[in-house]
């Protein structure tokens, strides 16, 4: 409902302005709702003299600060590329997520300290029916807030708004814990306020650390989603001249800001001009249809040379018998005087620790061909997806 009311062309999520609007609307929604919840909980916290409720109230206030950071982050992320930042500014969204996580973490630490003090020096708690009613209302308010955030984050695939949604979920759990603690104190007439406050604080700290990890990962570089990989692979292989692809690398500079490089195999008999035109055509399609900047490296593939085919089969068999997970690509024979260079890449997972020389020695020991002298030149590749 909110996005329909306040976001013009809300379905055009590839538009940076629309994306910025999503962040702004979700930010202002969060500021208003969190301030209301803070005022309500703070008033009850003062009345009851409960550190647990006070911690929960100030947690909502910190969420309001986080919403301001969200608005600023989306505003900066929507800026177009410039001379100093040719890849755009979309990663500001990730940076704002990191700041939000640190704000949540600091709030958790502050109230953990206050809760420990309450454990050693407990104070009398004043409870009333209004306490229970307001806490229940606060829980429902946070449920609505979480649903709005999830709707927005799913619409534009935003890790920052998703972090806000997860924080709202955490607030639901913490406020529910507060309510349970208050009920226990009211029924059994025991003061566990400090202990409940410490539990809530620890939960806030753990959630902040998890959110921090999720927002840092995209800056470090993470494996793209299987759906994105399949979309890219299928779109390239949809061209019948392309016989295979490898060395696919996806560099992300923020949501909707991808730069992709790939090696595409075509027949070695293909005219170089035709191969160049094919690469240009595919690159244009990616830019126009997916808004992805694609760069293609063309690899010639010998499909009819009997010697190349036989040598490739033998090497593939040797490597498979040694380790079935090893794969080869970009295979070719290059003749130099009386020596034939066998040049190819071996795809090896990060878990494997074979050296280049170990694999070359393996091939030298097991490859038998009395007719020709072969020199193995290999390159070790790691899977980026």
Domains observed in the chain: 2-220 (1.20.1510.10), 226-301 (3.30.70.1350), 306-381 (3.30.70)
Map tokens 């020991």 to a residue.
Answer: 365
Rounded CA separation 212/103 (Å): 10
The answer to whether 138 touches 41, Cβ cutoff 8 Å, is: yes
What is the model's pLDDT at position 370? Answer: 58
Rounded CA separation 107/211 (Å): 14
Collapsing DSSP to helix, strand or coil, 222 comes out as: coil
Does the pLDDT of residue 371 top 70, yes or no? no
Does the pLDDT of residue 239 top 90, yes or no? yes
What pLDDT, in 10s, does the model give residues 31-84? 998 899 888 888 887 887 776 677 778 778 777 877 887 788 888 877 887 888
Does the pLDDT of residue 16 top 80, yes or no? no
What is the model's pLDDT at position 226? Answer: 81
What pLDDT, in 10s, does the model give residues 355-365? 989 898 888 88
Provide the 8-state DSSP code for 290: I
What is the model's pLDDT at position 59? Answer: 73
What is the model's pLDDT at position 385? Answer: 61
What is the model's pLDDT at position 384? Answer: 66
What is the model's pLDDT at position 372? Answer: 64
362, 365, 375 from 355: Cα distances, Å: 11, 16, 17
What pLDDT, in 10s, does the model give residues 167-225? 888 788 877 877 887 788 778 878 787 787 788 788 778 878 887 887 787 777 777 77
Does the pLDDT of residue 284 top 90, yes or no? yes
Give the pairing type, strands 373-381 and 339-347: parallel
Please report, rounded to a whole number, the percentage of residues in the chain having pLDDT higher than 90.
11
**81-95, 298-312, 338-352: which range is least confident on average?**
81-95
Rounded CA separation 77/96 (Å): 10
Collapsing DSSP to helix, strand or coil, 179 comes out as: helix
Taking the CA atoms of 344, 348, 350 and 355 in sequence, report the sign of the dihedral they define.
negative
Does the pLDDT of residue 246 top 70, yes or no? yes
Rounded CA separation 341/356 (Å): 16
| CB-facing half-sphere around the CA of 221: CA atoms within 13 A | 7
**Who wins on pLDDT, 369 or 139?**
139
Helix, strand, coil percentages in the chain from 3-state DSSP, rounded to 5: 60, 15, 25
Does the pLDDT of residue 89 top 70, yes or no? yes
Does the pLDDT of residue 291 top 90, yes or no? no
Rounded CA separation 79/62 (Å): 27
Strand partners, 332: 343
Report the pLDDT averaged over residues 350-354: 87
Strand partners, 333: 342
Q: What is the pTM of this model?
A: 0.62
Map tokens 């702004």 to a residue.
Answer: 24
Mean pLDDT rounded to a whole number for the chain: 83
* Closest alpha carbon to 107 in 180, 34, 33, 22: 34
10 Å Cβ neighbour count for 312? 18
Give the pairing type, strands 258-267 and 244-252: antiparallel
Helix (H) or strand (E) holding 379: strand 373-381
* Closest alpha carbon to 372 in 283, 304, 313, 311: 311
Report the pLDDT averaged over residues 283-310: 87
62, 182, 319, 336 from 372: Cα distances, Å: 73, 85, 20, 12
pLDDT band with cut points at 50, 70 and 90 for residue 294: very high
What is the model's pLDDT at position 87? Answer: 80
């Amino acid at each position: 409902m909110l996005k329909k009311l306040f976001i013009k062309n809300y379905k055009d999520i590839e538009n940076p302005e629309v994306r910025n609007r999503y962040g702004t609307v979700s930010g202002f929604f969060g500021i208003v709702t969190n301030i209301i919840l803070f005022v309500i909980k703070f008033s009850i916290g003062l009345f009851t003299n409960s550190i647990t409720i006070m911690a929960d109230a100030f947690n909502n206030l910190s969420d309001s600060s986080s919403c301001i950071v969200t608005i600023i982050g989306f505003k900066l992320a929507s800026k177009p590329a410039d001379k100093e930042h040719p890849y755009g500014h979309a990663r500001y969204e990730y940076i704002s997520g990191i700041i939000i996580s640190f704000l949540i973490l600091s709030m958790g630490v502050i109230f953990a300290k206050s809760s420990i003090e309450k454990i050693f020096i407990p104070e009398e708690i004043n409870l009333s029916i209004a306490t229970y009613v307001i806490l229940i209302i606060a829980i429902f308010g946070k449920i609505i807030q979480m649903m709005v955030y999830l709707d927005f984050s799913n619409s534009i695939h935003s890790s920052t708004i998703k972090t806000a949604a997860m924080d709202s979920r955490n607030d639901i759990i913490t406020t529910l814990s507060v309510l349970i603690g208050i009920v226990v104190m009211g029924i059994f007439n025991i003061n566990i306020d400090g202990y409940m406050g410490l539990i809530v604080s620890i939960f806030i700290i753990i959630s902040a650390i998890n959110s921090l990890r999720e927002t840092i990962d995209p800056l470090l570089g993470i494996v793209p989603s299987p759906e994105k990989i399949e979309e890219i692979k299928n779109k390239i292989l949809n061209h019948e001249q392309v016989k295979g692809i490898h060395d696919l690398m996806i560099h992300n500079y923020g949501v909707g800001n991808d730069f992709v490089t790939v090696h595409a195999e075509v027949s070695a008999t293909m005219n170089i001009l035709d191969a160049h035109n094919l690469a240009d055509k595919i690159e244009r399609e990616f830019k126009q249809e997916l808004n992805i900047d694609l760069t293609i490296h063309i690899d010639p593939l010998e499909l009819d040379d009997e010697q190349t085919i036989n040598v490739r089969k033998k090497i593939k068999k040797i490597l498979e018998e040694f380790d079935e997970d090893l794969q080869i690509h970009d295979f070719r024979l290059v003749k130099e005087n009386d020596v034939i260079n066998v040049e190819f890449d071996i795809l090896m997972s990060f878990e494997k620790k074979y050296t280049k020389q170990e694999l070359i020695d393996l091939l030298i020991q097991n490859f038998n061909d009395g007719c020709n002298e072969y020199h193995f030149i290999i390159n070790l590749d790691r899977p980026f997806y």
